[in-house]
Amino acid sequence: MEPVNYYVGIDVGTASVRAALVDQFGTVVVYADQPIQMWAPQPDHYEQSSDDIWTACCTVTKKVIQGIDIGQIRGIGFDATCSLVVLDNNFHPLAVNRDGNEVLPPGAPVGNGLSPDAANDLGLPSGIAVAASLIDAHAGGIGMIGASVKGYNLPCENQPITSRIAVICGTSSCHMGISDSPVFVPGVWGPYYSAMVPGFWLNEGGQSATGKLVEHVVQGHTAFPELQTKAAASAQSIYMYLNGHLDLIKKSLPVGFLTVDVHVWPDFHGNRSPLADLTLKGMVVGLTLSRGLDDLAVLYLATIQAIALGTRHIVETMQTAGHHVNTLFMCGGLSKNPLFVQMHADIMGMPIVLAKEVESVLMGAAILGACASKDFTSLQDAMEKMGRVGKIVLPNHKDKRFYDKKYQVFLKLVEHQQQYKTIMQST
């Protein structure tokens, strides 16, 4: 039996560093994470240490390669949230806080590529192939958008990769669509050449608050303590309990129809795409004096639907500008919620592909490392062979008329809000 090749993916987030050891077949073999320190010297000021982050990178890498012949580890890829590290002439971090003081003593050099010393810190051979760092949302797209879909009877089968859009949905969400030629989409970032997949132009839409919005709505309701108690008693998460509660109260109608009188505009934190208006606020229409768990469940459902309607707004704007999308590939924390995924499928009218490996961001980083190793002919070759399809969620087309009407209401909400602003500004 030939030895298996392995690749390391490292994801540097805001609160932690995560790493995964991934084999050549796209299986996450080992996973590890390590918290990152954060200092808050005064209100609304947050500081972190690049040395602390590098130490965390070393810790998680050593954990995932423990017991593996390092000769079989062929490449490493990094992704990170958007960040800035200021270095001196010796490539050591410089403090940029108010006092000019280091929050931690100097440690390993940062920003010099993967030098032999840095490779040694990670416990890897000095000659290992390294992929340039990438924004985490882009890595998430790479980790799933290029997976082979042969035999799944999806509309994107035998179609170019440009027929797919990757939705990375967590605290906030990103919508990654690629095209052969530049497409300029109002209110959507880009086009950026080779920013995600080499040779293609990337447009990136987004929603400023998605997972955070659901959390805000649920935790702010008066029935939240009751929800917590009942969810704990049934050994379920609060969201799985709410999903089950919605099934209990739906009666003979589909679950989604429970919001026939409740509508949400989800931009509680402004609109990133496609309106690009940070002054927009959230709206809820259809509130009653009810304070019970039924009311909380319906408001939770309406919020999820609003996020899905926002995705439809973004994708339709991209379609109008020149994109041709027929399948959504979804990853991130919210993709683990079956109600969230089904509502997106029903409201978009498109199938949704979930990755086999839930850690799609780490998979994307590892795929970058695999491409750097030259073990694959191209990034797309590595994406196709290492990215694997998991569950496929199909839309309920019989509910299309209801969701088309919900979408009309959704667009009316922002139209009215913009009119309110105009009236108030004229007084």
Count CB atoms within 10 A of the CB of residue 83. 12
> What are the 10-residue block averages of pLDDT along the chain, 427 residues in total?
91 91 96 93 85 94 94 93 78 74 45 73 89 84 94 96 95 95 97 94 97 97 98 98 97 95 97 96 96 97 98 98 98 94 98 92 94 94 94 97 98 94 85
- Closest Cα to residue 82, out of 39, 136, 11, 131? 136
pLDDT at 426: 85
pLDDT at 51: 87
Largest separation between any pair of C-alpha atoms in the chain: 79
Residue type, 398: K
Crossing angle of helices 211-219/238-249, nearest 10°? 70
Tell me the backbone φ, ψ of residue 85, rounded to 5 degrees.
-120, 125
pLDDT at 94: 80
Return the residue matching tokens 């105009």: 422
pLDDT at 246: 98
pTM (predicted TM-score): 0.90
**Could you give the C-alpha distances from 175 to 25, 165, 332, 346, in angstroms and in order?**
26, 7, 12, 17
Tally DSSP H helices, then E strands, for the chain: 11, 16
Residue 207's H or E segment, with its range, is strand 201-207
CB 9 within 8 A of CB 17: no
Residues 6+ apart with CB under 8 A from 353: 144, 147, 149, 152, 154, 327, 328, 329, 330, 389, 390, 392
